[in-house]
């Protein structure tokens, strides 16, 4: 497919300077950019078929972790925000299981798409991961599986919803709950959220929706899938420098293998 077959360019003209400017302003103001119907109908159908077939290769795992994605601090109480544990559980297929003619591969490798992401995020350059697993992933969440509350380590994330369940799997977030750059972790605010005293924003999306999200300071989660229909989501990961690899420990934890 060429770009016009792959993307809904009538609604999302990613090569337009004016469209790029509007998207950049939205991301900067809201911390999130939601582009509904980003894929063409043909491309979405092909991607859904591909993801369903790839499900048998998925590595399923569950981890307990803090919202800060840091080790526990034994000098602090077990119920301190740094030590409070949540759970994330999902299945994942890795970059090397994504075919060369995949819709995801064509979009990820497209110079036009990469230029659009750079224009919106302000990055001067974007590169794939140097390891063979981490650039393109497809995540699967079956009944009861969830992504626990957390802050990202990366500056931004790109996701594409492939299919959604009949209930649950809500993307919930609170914008700018901390300021990592200033070292302000807002333990009190995180504790209030984990204790259910704060109502997060819920981001609604349909299959084919592209989302750019700044998650370093905006805490977020995906609530448990409450149906028997699998949630399928693609994650497209770039780096601002060449040669970056996901650590071996992270690859073993999330993918169950190194290559």
Sheet holding 171-174, edge to edge: 147-150, 219-222, 171-174, 201-203
Number of H helices, E strands in the chain: 7, 11
Domain of 63 in residue numbering reads as 3-255
Mean pLDDT of the chain: 96
CA 80 to chain centre: 27
DSSP 3-state of 55: helix
From the number of C-beta atoms within 10 Å of its C-beta (0-12, 13-18, 19+), residue 98 rates as buried
pTM of the model: 0.95
Give the CATH number for residue 68.
2.60.120.620
The pLDDT value recorded for residue 249 is 85
Span 140-157, mean pLDDT? Answer: 96
Task: Supply 117's token pair.
Answer: 């992401």
Domain count, the chain: 1
Q: Is the pLDDT of residue 2 over 90?
A: no
Q: What is the tens place of the pLDDT at every residue in 201-214? A: 999 999 999 999 99
Q: What is the tens place of the pLDDT at every residue in 84-132? A: 999 999 999 999 999 999 999 999 999 999 999 999 999 999 999 999 9
Q: Is the pLDDT of residue 1 over 80?
A: no
């Amino acid at each position: 497919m060429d770009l016009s077959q792959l993307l809904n360019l009538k609604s999302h003209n990613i090569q337009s300077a004016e469209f790029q400017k509007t998207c950049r302003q939205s991301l900067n103001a809201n911390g999130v950019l939601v582009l509904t119907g980003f894929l063409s109908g043909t491309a979405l159908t092909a991607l859904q078929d591909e993801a369903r077939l790839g499900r048998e290769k998925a590595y399923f795992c569950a981890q307990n972790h803090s919202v800060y994605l840091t080790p526990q601090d034994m000098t602090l109480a077990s119920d301190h925000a740094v030590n409070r544990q949540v759970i994330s559980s999902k299945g994942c297929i890795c970059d090397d299981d994504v075919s060369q003619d995949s819709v995801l591969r064509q979009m990820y490798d497209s110079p036009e798409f990469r230029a659009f992401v750079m224009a919106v995020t302000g990055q001067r350059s974007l590169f794939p991961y140097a390891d063979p697993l981490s650039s393109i992933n497809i995540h699967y969440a079956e009944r009861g599986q969830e992504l626990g509350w957390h802050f990202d380590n990366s500056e931004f994330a790109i996701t594409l919803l492939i299919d959604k369940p009949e209930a649950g799997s809500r993307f919930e977030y609170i914008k700018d709950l901390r300021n990592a750059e200033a070292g302000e972790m807002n333990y009190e605010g995180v504790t209030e959220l984990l204790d259910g005293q704060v109502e997060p924003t819920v981001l609604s999306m349909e299959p084919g929706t592209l989302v750019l999200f700044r998650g370093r300071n905006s805490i977020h989660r995906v609530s448990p899938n409450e149906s028997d229909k699998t949630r399928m989501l693609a994650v497209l990961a770039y780096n601002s420098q060449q040669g970056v690899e996901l650590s071996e420990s992270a690859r073993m934890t999330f993918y169950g293998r190194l290559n």
